[in-house]
Amino acid sequence: MPGGGRMLVMSELIRLDQDTTATDPQGPQKELSGRSPDDLRNIAATVASEAADHVRGERAFAVGSSGRLDVEDTKSSDVDPVTAIDRSSENLIRIRLHELTDRGAGPDPILGEEDGGALADSGVTWVVDPVDGTVNLVYGIPASAVSIAACVDGVPVAGAVADIFHGTVYSACAGGDVVTRVDGDERVIEGTVQTSLQQLSMALVGTGFSYVSSRRRAQADLLVDLLPEIRDIRRMGSAALDLCAVATGRLDAYYEHGLGPWDYAAGTLIAARSGAVVFMPSLVSGQDEGVGILAAAPGITDELAEKVLAVTLPLSKGHP
Ligand code: IPD
Ligand code: CA
Ligand code: CA
> CATH number for the domain including 108?
3.30.540.10
Atom of ligand 1 nearest to the CA of 210: 12
Do 244 and 124 fall within a single domain? no
Do 43 and 182 fall within a single domain? yes
**Ion ligand 3: protein residues whose beta carbon lies under 5 Å:** 113, 129, 131
Do 51 and 139 fall within a single domain? yes
Q: Tell me the percentage of the chain whose pLDDT exceeds 70.
A: 93
Atom of ligand 1 nearest to the CA of 131: 16
| DSSP reduced 3-state for 266 | helix
Do 184 and 101 fall within a single domain? yes
User: Taking a C-beta distance cutoff of 8 angstroms, is the pair 45, 146 a contact?
Assistant: no
In a domain, 2, yes or no: no
Atom of ligand 1 nearest to the CA of 135: 15
* Mean pLDDT along residues 65-73: 91
| 239 Cβ closer than 6 Å to some ligand 1 atom | yes
pLDDT for 4 equals: 52
Do 163 and 226 fall within a single domain? no
Check pLDDT > 80 for residue 195. yes
Q: Any alpha helices (H) in the chain, and if so which ranges?
A: 37-62, 84-101, 134-139, 213-226, 239-247, 261-273, 301-308
Residue where one domain finishes, among candidates 147, 163, 189: 189
Distance in angstroms (rounded) separating the CA atoms of residues 246 and 102: 34
Q: Name the residue range of residue 202's domain.
A: 10-21+193-308
In a domain, 313, yes or no: no
Do 110 and 175 fall within a single domain? yes
Do 296 and 244 fall within a single domain? yes
Pairing mode of beta strands 125-132, 110-112: parallel
How many domains is the chain partitioned into structurally? 2
In a domain, 51, yes or no: yes
**Ion ligand 2: protein residues whose beta carbon lies under 5 Å:** 129, 132, 263
Do 174 and 261 fall within a single domain? no
pLDDT for 26 equals: 47
| 133 Cβ closer than 6 Å to some ligand 1 atom | yes
Do 116 and 245 fall within a single domain? no
Mutate to test the pocket of ligand 1, among 77, 211, 263, 280 (most ligand atoms within 8 A of CB): 263
CATH number at residue 17: 3.40.190.80
Do 92 and 179 fall within a single domain? yes
Q: Give the Å distance between the CA of 50 and the centre of ligand 2.
A: 18
Do 67 and 180 fall within a single domain? yes
In a domain, 118, yes or no: yes
Mean pLDDT rounded to a whole number for the chain? 93
| 129 Cβ closer than 6 Å to some ligand 1 atom | yes
Q: Give the Å distance between the CA of 41 and the centre of ligand 3.
A: 20
User: Taking a C-beta distance cutoff of 8 angstroms, is the pair 249, 168 a contact?
Assistant: no
Distance in angstroms (rounded) separating the CA atoms of residues 42 and 48: 10
* Mean pLDDT along residues 65-81: 92
Residue where one domain finishes, among candidates 189, 216, 232: 189
Lowest model confidence (mean pLDDT) among 9-13, 107-111, 248-252: 9-13
In a domain, 5, yes or no: no
Q: What is the dihedral of CA 15, 252, 185, 93, to 10 degrees?
A: 60
Do 144 and 200 fall within a single domain? no
Query: Residue 23 — pLDDT band, cuts 50, 70, 90?
Result: confident
Residue where one domain finishes, among candidates 155, 189, 223: 189
Give the residue, by CA position, lying nearest to ligand 1 atom 11.
208
